Amino acid sequence: MAVNGTHQEYNHLEEVKRFDDAKIGVKGLLDSGITSLPRMFVHPTAALSDLKSVSRSESQVIPTIDLSGVHSDRRPAIVEQVSQACRKLGFFQIVNHGVPLEVMNRTISAVKAFHELPTEVKKQWYRREVGTGVSFMSNVDLYNAKAASWRDTLQVRLGPVLADVEHIPEICKNEIIEWNQQATQVAETLMELLCEGLGLDAGRLKEMTFLESKTLAAHYYPPCPQPDLTFGITSHTDPGVLTVLLRDHIGGLQVKYGEQWLEIEPVPGAIVINIGDILQILSNDEYKSVDHRVLANPSTDPRVSVAIFFNAGKRDCLYGPFPELVSPEKPACYRQFMLNDFMRRFFTKDLAEKTLADYYRI
């Protein structure tokens, strides 16, 4: 149903189910020739009120950190830069990270090629259950969100056990596997720097299996016919420890800083890094997991990004602030919890609802 249409008996859940059952995604809607948004994608006016209030002049607040010499005498300076970025913003970009530019470009191109396969071909992967470890869908929170967002996603389980490679689409299989290897090396280095920035042993996060449980989300944001009425992804925080994000040259990623939104301008060859809720909890609020969002794509070209979310491999352990970061001067800010409980709560909520860190706050 178009935005401009009025229908007193509009049933959001019915429209969502029709869309989901069609298995065409937002790319399929666009290909069908629509010129206005179906009502299920239209967000409340209040949620859209600050779209125009982005501070571009302060985009340099989001630092770009040069990792060259990370294993040399430059390391303490890099640790300090990473630590400051995580304490202040929870977001930063990295360059000279060791991943060849051609690998990054190939990954973006392969993901784009998958999403631009004929709808009838892509339907074979369209599912919400994650049994095979590979699923193509639109909006992971489609049935929980108040309004849908304008994006499609290919999701692949990378660990603890890689999805059956036979189920990964051939058109992007090799590139996803290669990007997983490269991004994991980057994440291992960053986790060491993050630990050192907290005064902990460099291998602490790796020992806690935070390199092992990984999920890849390859997002595709087609041109949006009415970008002022919806989002690419609504404001949210990431649940895990660390997110490693590869993206193309089209902007739209914004971070909440105080009461304003900052645009993270694309930097050629850079990878975007952000802290998740679990690391904020482990760090006892030293590091920040902050709200971020993606605008609906106003460009005539599609926007592509590939995120890898790093979580704990051990789901049945208790997690809470590192004991070394708790003192009489700074008591624990969070109670302990089981990771299974944490992840269950994340996947049964609207992405836009408040961060899970708040749920476990003392």
Q: Which of 4-8, 54-58, 62-66, 211-215 has the lowest mean pLDDT?
A: 4-8
pLDDT band of residue 2 (cuts 50, 70, 90) is very low
Percentage of the chain exceeding pLDDT 70: 93
Domains of the chain: 13-360 (2.60.120.330)
Percentage of the chain exceeding pLDDT 90: 81
Residue with tokens 């596997």: 177
Strand partners, 55: 262
> Which structure tokens are listed for 74?
């430059």
> Which structure tokens are listed for 122?
């892509």
C-beta of residue 191 within 8 angstroms of C-beta of residue 210: yes
Confidence (pLDDT) at 312: 84
The 10s digit of each residue's pLDDT in 36-86 is 999 999 999 988 888 766 665 554 579 999 999 999 999 999 999 999 999
Phi (first) and psi of residue 319, to 5 degrees = -125, 145
Please check the confidence at residue 294 and state whether its pLDDT lies above 60. yes
Query: What is the rounded average pLDDT of the residues 216-240?
Result: 96
Query: What is the rounded average pLDDT of the residues 113-125?
Result: 97
Confidence (pLDDT) at 6: 43
Please check the confidence at residue 4 and state whether its pLDDT lies above 50. no
Confidence (pLDDT) at 354: 60
Helix or strand run (H / E) with residue 85: helix 75-88
